[in-house]
Amino acid sequence: MRMSNEIKEIIAGNLAAAKEAQQRADWSECWQLLEDAHVLSQPWVWPHVRVHGSMLVTGWKARDVREVRGQILRLLAGGPASAVGRYPVGNTGRARVSAIQPMPVRPDLAEILTKAGQPTE
């Protein structure tokens, strides 16, 4: 299924805003934006990989070794998982959570995914 323009725009906006937060070293805001982008991107290979790439860069800039290691592994596994539709719905994509653990989807993100015909559980 194709990604809706709404989701494309939200992900692009989150990635741009995360980059701005990165420049201010506002790591909390940056990670929240990236986590939201991750939840929305999971059903699609390239957007999902792109978000993990942004997470890798953020981990590097924040000097977070755990996050860098975790994102390298997620870059390798995330695309194939999306391609076959076997990803943990709602997972925030951070190295601090299990890469295979489904998580509750926040209601605002669930509404966006539901409109796009994607699972939220």
What pLDDT score does 1 carry?
73
Does the predicted TM-score (pTM) go above 0.85?
yes
State the alpha helices, DSSP H only, in 24-95: 27-41, 45-61, 65-83
Which sequence spans correspond to the domains of the chain?
A: 10-115
Distance (Å) of CA 120 to CA 38, 94, 96: 13, 18, 21
What pLDDT score does 109 carry?
97
Regions of the chain short of the pLDDT cut 50 = none
